[in-house]
Structure formats: C-alpha cells, structure tokens
C-alpha cells in the first residue's frame, strides 16, 4: 500500500524566494475585487447596511473620548467654582447616548455579519456545486482537480465574508484612527508616529505567519484526503467485513494516528510561533504606551496640560494603539483570506465545456448533409470509426483502432478480461470522454456534435457499480427520469417491470421507506435488492433508444437472473442494447453479436454460434466457464 507513504520533503516558508512572495501577494490582492463582487451578488442590501454601520461605529469612539475629556474638565471646573454642576450631568447624559449608540451599532454589525455570512456561504457553496456539475469525468479522476475542489469547499463558508469583514474593519479603524489622531496631534504630534511604529513589527510577523498557515493547509490537501479515506475505511459498512476478517483495524488506525500526529505537530509549531510573536510584540506595544504615558503624565504634573487632557490622552493613545493593531491585524487576516480565496477562484476557473457540441460538424461526417439531430423515438445506427482512446496522464492505450457498427435494434455483447476496454468503450458512448482518435457516430452525427444532455436522455443504463441513493425507495426508482420523480404511478409501473415491486412490498413504508444506513430509520437492502431497484430505474426512462447493461446480473442469483433476462428482453425489445458481462450465459441469451476485446482491440466479432465454430478465444473462455458449472 505505497499510497500511504509520506510525500517528498517540502520547502519551508523561510526558504521562499522574495519573488515568490511578491507573486503570492499580488495574486492574493487580485482576489479582493472578485470577493467583493461575490458579496454584492449575495446580498447587496446587506453589504450597504454593513458599510453604513461600520462607518457609524468608526466615528463614535472619538466622540466618546472627547466627551470623557469634557466631563473631567467640567468636574474640575465645577470643583473650583468655575462651572455649573448641571453641565457635568448634561455631558454624562451625552456620553451615555454615545455609548448606547456605539453598543447598538456593534450589535447591529454583528447581526448583519451573521445574516450576510449565511447568505454568502450558501451562494459560494452553490457556485462550487454548480461548477461540480460542469466538471467532466476526467476532472473527477484528476487528483489535482479533486484537491482544488476540497480546498475550495473547506474554506467556502468562512473566508469570503471574513475577507470583506476584515476590509470593513480596516476602513472602520482607519476612520477611528484618523479621528483619534486629530485629538493626539493637539497634545503630542509624536504620539501618532509612536502608535504606528510600535504596531508595525507585529503586523509583519503576523502576515508572514498567515502565509505560512496558507501554504501549510494547501500542501495538506492530498494528505487530508488520505486522512479522510483512512477514517472512511474504519467507519463505513462497505468495509467493515474485510476490516474485521483481516484484522485491518490496528494497521489503518495506526496510519491514521501517524498522519494526525504529523498534522498536530505542524499546527502546534505554528501556534507556538504565533504565541511567541504575540507576547514579544505585545510587550513592545506596552512599553511604547507606558513611555508616552510617563511623558504626558509629567506634562500634566507641570500643569502644561489639564487633567482632562491627560485623561483624554490616555484613552485616545490606548484606543489609537488598538486601532492601529486592529488595522494591521485585519490586513494580515485579509491577506490570509485572500490567499485562501485563490483556491476558490482557481477551482471555479477550471476549464470546462468539453462536453458542448462542436460547431460546425467535423469533416469525418459523410459529405451528404447529415441531420443535425438524429430523429427521436426510435434507435439509430451506432458507428465507431477507428476509435482510439488514452486516459489523461497515462501512456498506454485503453482502446486502439476499434471499428464497429450497431444497426438499429441490434443487441451487442462485450466480453474480455478486466482492463480489456469494455467499460472504457461505454464511457465513450456516454460521452464521459471523447475519443483521442477517430469518432463515434449516432444516426450519422458525431456524438461531439450533439447536445450532450439530449444525447444522454436517449440512453438507459444499468451499471455494475450502480449508486445506492440514501433516499426513499420511490426516489431510488424515480431518479431514472428526474422529471418524473414524483410520478408515483410511473414509478410503480417501472418497479413492476424491473422486478423491484416485490422488494418494495417488504419495506415498512413501502415506497416511502428511506433506504440505506446513513440516516435515521433507514432500511438497508441486500446487494440483489439494490440491483433490482437500479434495474427499475432504467425502466423509468421510457424514451431511451439505447440500453447499456454493465454486469446486470452480478448481484443476482440464478433464479433471479433468469427472471431478469426476461425483463431485459422486454426492456430492450425495440432498442439497441450493449451488454457487458463475465457470465457467458447472459451474453449468449441477450446478444445478436459478440465482440471480444483484448488489450483495447477487437480480437473477435460474430454471433455466439459463429465464435464457437471459429474455436478462438471466445470459444476457449466459454467452454472453460461451462466446465466450471459442470464440475
């Protein structure tokens, strides 16, 4: 199981080149406008409300600080008989009003952020899922694309709003700092520079750690997937039999612990660095505050400034420090959020559209003008012309120079060893991939020139690895035709024709029974019962012109197999059918002609009788299997 080995050593953030850092920063900043666009599309009214509340919350601290100074000076003046006590009360009530407004603005900001978080999280998740629908099979089989998807999904609910909130925080604290600076300059111009200078080192350290955190989590994507897979092995019913039989638990759990410990150690080292930086630069800020405190206190002692000025200065200097630190912290957080947003936008930018119909039709189509769309309602001729296919990132050919013709209504059997190319041929027919060379034509039209959704509605299929939907029994059948998933009479008829009606009758709530073990009160079925539902699903697609049966009897006993043959005969009566099976009894019963594939090439082609008379590979395999039944 070499797949669990640790990857090659990765470069540490300290070794990153300056040019790479600059490119990383530029790339992060480019994500900011796109993220704001997401916010605007999600809830532009909420975005406006957030901006207004942020501005209001920004100016109130300076007003509160100035009112506090006036209160102290008024108290001192009243004590000397130079002011009216009622004025002090008026100022206190004014500060109360400002504090109430500040508290209300803060609460409304929190509410608005939560509402916007929910709206934005849903919008981003929908964008991710919409993109997933656009992806082709080759994307899902590409580890790099899968990692991009997982990285995007992991941060989708938090990062976009966090970036915008950080941006508003920068604006809010900048406004606050501007108002406070106007008050500080009046007392000590140097104070503004000290406030800013004492906070910059902490910002630089935090930004560096933010980049390190991003790179760490991005590098982890493949290993994180491996961690999830190890957990899946130990927690899913599909694996429990082999886990217990072969005693795999300690081995898999040990690898899980090793990987988790590696993650924990990396997180711990980063957390310790953050803590050490926080303490160090916190002390720097504290020292700057008390140095300026001593200077201003001595000025107050020499009566160069009033007691109110001293009170104002202390409040404003500390608030100014907090505002600068908040700005710089928000900038570091915004930088980190923007780095993570590159994952989302990189995923959304994955090129798709390979399944769209080509325009104009290729020259391989005969010169006589072909129909742009084959007529519906009856099967058309299927032709493979010198079809070759090689999977992305693989060197060998999965199919090589395959040429076949299926006449309308013909039943074709595909046999061959594992890896011979049977399933690959079906993937090409379904346009899950396009041929690397050659072409597949349906009714004289290249599949690449047909609308892929229209083309797939013409095909019904039962796959060996059929999906077990954790939905109701009715939905498991009805999903064969999504437009009719609520059409109970049609679903019941499909269940009857597909042999699943008897299975449904045994369920507690019949068609309304939730199947599978993922959710509460779910009813688990045997493999054969699940397969009967999958067969019934194929009967939902009444307009299908082509039927694909990929190991249709793999999970069914001999008696059920005979019954299923009869149902398949009825289903495929007026349709073209392609049958893949390792059971030669299935092939000889269903197929008019049989293709023997070996190494991606057509080795033999003919009827069952003709291939037996040829005494080639098919005859050898058939007699070997038949002998096994006799023995």
Domains of the chain: 25-348 (1.20.1560.10), 468-542 (no CATH)
Q: What are residue 463's phi and psi, to 5 degrees?
A: -100, 155
pLDDT at 342 over 60: yes
pLDDT at 109 over 50: yes
- Contact between residue 65 and residue 186 where contact means Cβ atoms under 8 Å apart: no
Q: Which of 243-247, 464-468, 609-613 has the highest mean pLDDT?
A: 609-613
**Rounded mean pLDDT, 130-149:** 77
Give the model confidence (pLDDT) of 170-218 as tens digits: 777 777 777 767 766 666 666 666 666 666 666 666 666 666 676 666 6
pLDDT at 13 over 60: no
Angstrom distance (rounded) from CA 425 to CA 433 = 9
Q: Which of 240-244, 263-267, 306-310, 440-444 has the highest mean pLDDT?
A: 440-444
Report pLDDT for 161. 74
**Rounded mean pLDDT, 427-432:** 87
**Rounded mean pLDDT, 34-59:** 80
Number of C-beta neighbours around residue 529 at 10 A? 22
pLDDT at 361 over 90: no
Report pLDDT for 387. 93
Angstrom distance (rounded) from CA 26 to CA 158 = 22
Q: Which of 22-26, 169-173, 245-249, 525-529 has the lowest mean pLDDT?
A: 22-26
More confident residue, 341 or 92: 92
DSSP 617: H
- Contact between residue 585 and residue 568 where contact means Cβ atoms under 8 Å apart: no
Angstrom distance (rounded) from CA 263 to CA 190 = 46
Give the model confidence (pLDDT) of 222-238 as tens digits: 677 777 778 877 776 66
Assigned token pair, 528: 């054969």
% pLDDT > 70, the chain: 75
Residue 490 pLDDT grade (very low, low, confident, very high; cuts 50, 70, 90): very high
Residue 403 pLDDT grade (very low, low, confident, very high; cuts 50, 70, 90): very high
Give the model confidence (pLDDT) of 69-83 as tens digits: 788 778 877 766 666
Mean pLDDT, the chain, integer = 77
Enumerate helices (H) and strands (E) in the chain, giving the number of each: 21, 10
**360 preceded by cis ω (within 30°)?**
yes
């Amino acid at each position: 199981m070499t797949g669990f080995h640790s990857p090659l050593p990765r470069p540490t953030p300290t070794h990153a080149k300056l040019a790479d850092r600059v490119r990383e920063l530029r790339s992060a900043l480019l994500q900011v406008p796109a993220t704001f666009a997401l916010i605007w599309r999600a809830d532009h009214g909420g975005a406006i409300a957030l901006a207004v509340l942020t501005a209001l919350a920004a100016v109130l601290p300076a007003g509160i600080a100035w009112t506090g100074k006036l209160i102290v000076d008024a108290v001192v003046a009243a004590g000397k008989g130079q002011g009216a006590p009622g004025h002090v009360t008026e100022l206190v009530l004014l500060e109360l009003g400002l504090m109430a407004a500040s508290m209300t603005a803060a609460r409304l900001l929190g509410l608005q952020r939560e509402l916007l978080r929910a709206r934005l999280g849903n919008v981003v998740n929908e964008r991710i899922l919409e993109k997933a629908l656009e992806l082709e099979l080759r994307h899902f089989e590409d580890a790099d694309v899968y990692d991009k998807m997982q990285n995007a999904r992991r941060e989708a609910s938090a990062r976009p709003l966090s970036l915008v909130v950080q941006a508003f925080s920068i604006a809010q604290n900048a406004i606050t700092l501007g108002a406070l600076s106007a008050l500080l300059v009046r007392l000590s111009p140097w104070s503004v520079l000290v406030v800013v200078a004492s906070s910059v080192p902490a910002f630089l350290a935090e930004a560096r750690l933010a980049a390190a955190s991003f790179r760490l989590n991005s590098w982890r994507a493949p290993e994180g997937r491996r961690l999830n897979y190890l957990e899946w092995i130990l927690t899913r019913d599909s694996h429990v039999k082999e886990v217990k039989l072969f005693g795999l638990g300690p081995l898999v759990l040990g690898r899980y612990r090793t990987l988790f410990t590696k993650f924990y150690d990396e997180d711990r080292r980063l957390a310790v660095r953050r803590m050490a930086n926080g303490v160090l630069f916190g002390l720097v800020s504290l020292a700057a505050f008390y140095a300026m405190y001593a200077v201003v206190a001595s000025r107050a002692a020499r009566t160069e400034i009033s007691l109110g000025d001293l009170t104002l200065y202390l409040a404003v200097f500390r608030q100014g420090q907090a505002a600068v630190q908040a700005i710089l912290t928000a900038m570091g957080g915004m930088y980190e959020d923007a780095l993570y947003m590159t994952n989302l936008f990189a995923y959304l930018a994955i090129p798709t559209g390979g399944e769209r119909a080509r325009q104009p039709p290729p020259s391989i189509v005969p010169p006589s003008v072909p129909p742009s769309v084959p007529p519906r309602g009856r099967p058309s001729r299927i032709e493979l012309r010198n079809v070759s296919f090689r999977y992305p990132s693989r060197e060998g050919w999965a199919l090589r120079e395959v040429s076949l013709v299926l006449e309308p209504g013909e039943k074709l059997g595909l046999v061959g060893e594992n890896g011979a190319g049977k399933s690959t041929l079906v993937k090409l027919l379904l346009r899950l991939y396009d041929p690397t060379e050659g072409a597949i034509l349906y009714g004289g039209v290249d599949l690449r020139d047909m609308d892929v959704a229209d083309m797939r509605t013409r095909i019904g299929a039962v796959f060996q690895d059929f999906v077990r939907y954790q939905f109701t029994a009715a939905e498991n059948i009805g999903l064969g035709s999504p437009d009719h998933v609520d059409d109970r009479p049609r679903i019941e008829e499909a269940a009857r024709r597909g042999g699943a009606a008897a299975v449904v009758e045994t369920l507690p709530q019949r068609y309304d029974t939730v199947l599978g073990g993922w959710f509460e009160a779910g009813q688990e079925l045997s493999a054969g019962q699940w397969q009967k539902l999958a067969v019934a699903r194929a009967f939902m697609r009444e307009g299908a012109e082509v039927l694909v049966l990929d190991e249709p009897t793999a999970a069914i006993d001999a008696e059920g197999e005979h019954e299923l043959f009869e149902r398949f005969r009825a289903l495929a009566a007026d349709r073209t059918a392609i049958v893949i099976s390792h059971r030669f009894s299935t092939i000889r019963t269903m197929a008019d002609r049989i293709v023997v594939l070996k190494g991606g090439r057509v080795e033999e082609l003919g009827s069952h009788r003709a291939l037996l008379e040829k005494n080639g590979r098919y005859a050898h395999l058939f007699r070997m299997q038949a002998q096994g039944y006799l023995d």
